[in-house]
Chains A and B, each alone.
Chain A
Amino acid sequence: MDWQAVELTARLAGVTTALLMLVGLPLAWWLARSGGGVMRPTVQALVGLPLVLPPTVLGFYLLVDLGPLTSVGRGLVRLLGHPLAFSFEGLVVGSMLYSLPFAVQPMVAGFAAVDRQFGEAASTLGASPARIFWGITLPLARGSVWTAALLTFTHTVGEFGVVLMLGGNIPGATRTMSIALYDAVQDGQYVDANRTAGALLAVAFAGLLALYWRRGRGVRGGDLV
């Protein structure tokens, strides 16, 4: 097995999950609370796009928009010293967009499921919205936060299309397990392909098993998308 690809995949999924939780937490909180108007459905549709869009579309736009053809891309090249495409950082950006709904949607469901009466009681007792979020809402929705992290991680591990478009196939930088698997099959290396595929299957199954096991033991709020 290509251990370099395993290490890279784990690093990519770890970094993506950590960053996406930081972005997704406030976003989910806002979505769970915001009222009427066009903002909420628009943001929801944007967040949900990666669920229905072919990953190659996402990869294509990122490749073009973050490349030297646009001012954003040129700015990034100046900032990083290299283009975002065909680099680890580029994969992180692509993975974050690709896995965004898997991070946000379970948390929106989790926050929305916390009974309003707790927040209302806390606010009449003098607790600020921030204190209510950290002390009441987040602990009560922690099941769905773990679900979000777990799904984001496993989903990023299994990502293929975005990486292919955006990352190419550079060992140690952009050659993830799913790419290594594709390569092995192309080369007729079925033994190697079998090992990589088995490892990916095991990670995905273990992730979902952990999720449902936890639910089975009475942890509330961890809806799967």
Chain B
Amino acid sequence: MTKPWTVLFAPSGAGKTTILRLIAGLDRLEKGKIVSRAESEGELVLADTDGRVHVPAHRRSMPMVAQRPALFPHRTVLGNVLYAGTERQAAGRDMQLDALLELCRVGHLRNRYPSQISGGESQRVALARALWAPARALLLDEPFSGLDVGLRDALIPEVKEYLAARRVPVLQVTHDVGEVFAVGAEVIRLEDGRVAAQGPPEIVLERERTRLLRQLGG
């Protein structure tokens, strides 16, 4: 991926989640190589089955928002988000944290426990937690699927801006056409485990878009 935000589009069961887990370092490759090429640090081999390289997940700096939010049940919303940060004591940290919580619309929930908030709220907290972590890249597994469309469309540009300011690229996987157009990013279309097409969503997902518009038009 070379663009700031890339979407991997494929039907359910095509192995999208597996790809993210391999990149995150949660699963091991059977054969192959994963390389990160960031502007700031050059080429970095994260996994290589030939060279027997496997950088463990916690050293990859690739926070992942999974389909299930996986909030730590014994920590508050704030405690969950702060778990992601290393002991950053930089000036203005509290202001940055407040801004991030507001961005994800969870500021009012900061002292609640995960069992006391809704599914959509949990998903936004998981997003905030991942955004607070030190990141080489952000991995998103259908992170907006539990949110209502209005909130999703309001949230996405702000998340984009936040990440662009920190130069953190995003790899998102989804099977939801609406989500792809809402993000408006480079799309890689997977079919039978291979890249079938790559480019802007209007071109790569033209078939789906036409069908969707026809359905809407009645």
Contacts and interface: CB of A to CB of B under 8 A. Distances in A.
A121 B64 contact: yes
Contact of B58 (A117, A118, A123, A139): A123
B63 A120 contact: no
A118 B68 CA distance: 10
A128 B105 CA distance: 29
Query: Which range holds the interface residue count of chain B?
Result: 20 to 34
Name B's interface SS: loop
14 contacts: A115-B70, A117-B70, A120-B66, A121-B70, A121-B72, A123-B56, A123-B58, A124-B24, A124-B60, A124-B62, A124-B133, A125-B63, A125-B84, A140-B72
A118 B83 contact: no
A128 B83 CA distance: 12
Interface of B: 24-26, 56-58, 60-64, 66, 68, 70, 72-74, 83-84, 86, 126, 129-130, 133-134, 139
A185 interface: no
Interface in A98-128: 115, 117-118, 120-128
Contact of A123 (B57, B86, B129, B134): B57
A139 B74 contact: yes
A49 interface: no
B210 to A, nearest CB: 37
Interface string A138-158: 011000000000000000000
Nearest to B24: A124
B151 to A, nearest CB: 22
